[in-house]
Amino acid sequence: MDEPNFRLQTMTITQKLYQLQSIFYAMDRALIAYSGGIDSTLVARIAHDVLGYQALAVTADSPSLMFEDLEAAKSQAVFMGLNHRIVQTHEMDNPNYTSNPTNRCYFCKSELHDTLKPLAMAEDYPYVVDGLNADDLQDYRPGIQAAKERGVRSPLAEVGISKLDVREMSKYLGLPWWDKPSQPCLSSRFPYGELITTEKLHRVGQCERYLRQLGIRNLRVRSDGETARIELPPDGIKDFVATVDLNTLVTAFQEYGFTYVTLDLEGYKSGKLNRVLAKTVV
């Protein structure tokens, strides 16, 4: 898994799909950790194509998941005809998570899979799989270790499927959300070390909802104490400033609980808060 799969660069979409399908052909039943993002959605779709109702897609609901994203996961499951279920996770009860250390995601994924594993055992699903892709292996993702410790399979990563592959395959399969922006949990909006609370998650969610309603798809609202920092695609910043009523926006964000509202002139970049990790390396 750690070596690049250069053969995939010349494989057709149908060949890549067969690679994924072959994993599920070797399984009788499987439980899919299905967040509604494009990665786990593709995995859930292929598992369903191969196993039918012997594949169970499970979505974890918690304060760190926006209501709209939960509803999207539900509607996508209906569209694909998935066997779908929602469970509650309780990572917010764990101080190791809410204290927001650099390995916060480890505790999140531990809670997720400690919730899914008993369900899988009780209902005779021998395999639990997730939507980790090959690109994720090159990023800082402490949650990968939690999944490995619990024997979770990652079909996309196992056969070297990248994020671009996922989008191309999703489009080929006719999934309308093939170009859906990545949407990690709301806890990723906080700098490491800032205490995460349900109230803080809620206000960040309200701010991002406000911006989504303006038609902005790819965005983040970073929370840094009393300051909301808006990140937008760099090529959209100029139009945003020119067309959005900034006074109304600031008033809304202040009503949601922030004192200050800023716009990040560098623009949106995934994983930006991980830059601090490089500074701690001696």
HSE of 279 in the Cβ direction (CA atoms, 13 Å)?
7
Q: How far apart are CA 21 and CA 17, in angstroms?
A: 6
Q: How far apart are CA 41 and CA 32, in angstroms?
A: 9
Q: Are 170 and 180 in contact (CB under 8 A)?
A: no
Q: How far apart are CA 103 and CA 280, in angstroms?
A: 14
What 3-state DSSP class applies to 186? helix
Beta strands in 118-253 (DSSP E): 127-129, 220-224, 227-231
* List 105, 108, 185, 207, catalytic entry: 185
Residue 150 structure tokens: 């619990």
Catalytic residue flag (residue 185): yes
Catalytic residues: 185
